[in-house]
A and B are shown apart, each in its own frame.
Chain A
């Protein structure tokens, strides 16, 4: 079982490399609306996470993600399904 907290840490670490230094990030930050990532940046950042956790998000999965907590929850569900 990989827990959400650990996944959030990975997400934040990746985000730090693509958003301006000093930007505040919380689990409720909205990836596009608050952090200003465009669709291409979102795709690249999600692909890096997919590699790291060895899962693929579907376009439907991605469409339902707004905040960092949403993304962590989606990743956790996929990771734990693989681990079953």
Chain B
């Protein structure tokens, strides 16, 4: 008997997957040449599975800022934000984020995962209620487990269900913190934020929006779903990450709450981990500026997203409900999904494979995503490869295109 025996069912399922001849969870990139080109196993691939929406990972200015800070400040801070881990860059980035979101304050965390863990577990205390969209990201669920609040899920993107659940709490003491995401990571669908905000107002609740996938993607200034929906004043807390459109790593929360900074002394995932390296901070700071300076990136992203979505949709694939940078194909079962993913990689296209229970509706998903810097020819090549494999595997009717 080993302490790992409890994972035998998972081990078994994983073994089955590997027997199919590929391992989607152990892909190693030999080299990466640009936001969209890499080699895997010695062969060139186009990357259609990342979160690099604006292609900023290779922006020359983003790289140069990082290099300069690496040389000036060294490789890491070796300490917590509340000890020796706050440099001018960290404070400057917090100011930059607050200004970008037109809010009073911002806090920077070491990852987006930790930002959710920190905010959700700290904001919602013993007598409070957390109301989570059922399709919330793992970091939101984990934050709720770390919190002492009561946790209630509502049906995905269903403001009426949220309203019913808030009504059932009438007369109970405590705050109600609603948590939703601007764009959901698996299907790329958007939260109905106008309706959610209305329910929130009527119930006197507090609203936190995770803009992980919508920062730099939605809204006139790229501030995300809340900006696009015109309900920023209803959102007390915006959480986000640097690991997607900003091309780095790290997380943040920004808010207008006057006492926001007290959280620095009670958010454990902020306090008990080392801060981001100065080079990373400098790259992200520059990335945020690039995002603002170049609205064209966002427009190119949406044009590319539309091209990929239209291409796959007219081929006959079942996709998520909203065109956007995440375009996911729903597949009937794990065997087909794995075969599809493997064939696609052989054809030189890398996408993400998402298997239940990490998917919203027990179907596996081929999760593809575009960036602002994919070319039309690359997108057409991906659509053609997916269509050909879709027909070969019987997912599509032949000649549907």
Contact of B150 among A39, A41, A55, A60 (CB under 8 A): A60
Spot the interface stretch: B214-222, B224-232, B240-248, B355-363: B355-363
Produce 1/0 per residue, B138-168, CB < 8 A to A. Answer: 0000001100001111010000010011001
A-B contact pairs, 27 of them (CB 8 A): A38-B356, A38-B357, A38-B362, A39-B357, A40-B356, A40-B361, A41-B362, A43-B134, A43-B153, A47-B155, A47-B161, A51-B164, A54-B164, A54-B168, A55-B168, A56-B152, A56-B165, A57-B152, A58-B150, A58-B151, A58-B152, A59-B144, A59-B145, A59-B151, A59-B152, A59-B153, A82-B168
The interface size bin for chain A is 10 to 19
Produce 1/0 per residue, A19-44, CB < 8 A to B. Answer: 00000000000000000001111010
Across-interface contacts of B153 in A (CB, < 8 A): 43, 59
Query: Chain A's interface: helix, strand, loop or mixed, by majority?
Result: helix
**How far is B372's CA from A45's CA once the two chains are assembled, in angstroms?**
41
| Chain B residue at minimal CB-CB distance from A78 | B168
| Chain A residue at minimal CB-CB distance from B158 | A47
Contact of B151 among A43, A54, A55, A60 (CB under 8 A): A60
User: Which residues of A are interface residues toward B (Cβ below 8 A)?
Assistant: 38-41, 43, 47, 51, 54-60, 82
Within the complex, the shortest CB–CB distance from B243 to chain A, in Å, comes to 26
| Chain B residue at minimal CB-CB distance from A61 | B150
Within the complex, the shortest CB–CB distance from B219 to chain A, in Å, comes to 31
Q: How many residues of B contact A (CB 8 A)?
A: 17
Across-interface contacts of B168 in A (CB, < 8 A): 54-56, 82
**How far is B172's CA from A56's CA once the two chains are assembled, in angstroms?**
13
Across-interface contacts of A60 in B (CB, < 8 A): 150-151
Within the complex, the shortest CB–CB distance from B356 to chain A, in Å, comes to 7
Known: A47-B161, A55-B168, A56-B165. 6 other contacts (CB 8 A): A40-B361, A54-B168, A56-B169, A58-B150, A59-B151, A82-B168
Across-interface contacts of A41 in B (CB, < 8 A): 362
Within the complex, the shortest CB–CB distance from A82 to chain B, in Å, comes to 8
| Chain A residue at minimal CB-CB distance from B151 | A59
Most chain B beta-carbon neighbours within 10 Å: one of A47, A54, A56, A58? A56
Across-interface contacts of A51 in B (CB, < 8 A): 164
**How far is B164's CA from A58's CA once the two chains are assembled, in angstroms?**
14
B40-88 interface with A by 8 A CB criterion: none
Produce 1/0 per residue, B2-27, CB < 8 A to A. Answer: 00000000000000000000000000
Within the complex, the shortest CB–CB distance from B30 to chain A, in Å, comes to 37
Within the complex, the shortest CB–CB distance from B181 to chain A, in Å, comes to 18
**How far is B165's CA from A54's CA once the two chains are assembled, in angstroms?**
9
Across-interface contacts of A43 in B (CB, < 8 A): 134, 153
Q: Closest 9 interchain pairs by CB? A: A59-B151, A58-B150, A56-B152, A56-B165, A40-B362, A56-B168, A39-B357, A58-B152, A58-B151
**How far is B144's CA from A82's CA once the two chains are assembled, in angstroms?**
25
**How far is B356's CA from A56's CA once the two chains are assembled, in angstroms?**
25
Within the complex, the shortest CB–CB distance from A67 to chain B, in Å, comes to 21
**How far is B358's CA from A40's CA once the two chains are assembled, in angstroms?**
10
Across-interface contacts of A59 in B (CB, < 8 A): 144-145, 151-153
Within the complex, the shortest CB–CB distance from A58 to chain B, in Å, comes to 5
Across-interface contacts of B150 in A (CB, < 8 A): 58, 60
**How far is B155's CA from A51's CA once the two chains are assembled, in angstroms?**
11
Across-interface contacts of A54 in B (CB, < 8 A): 164, 168
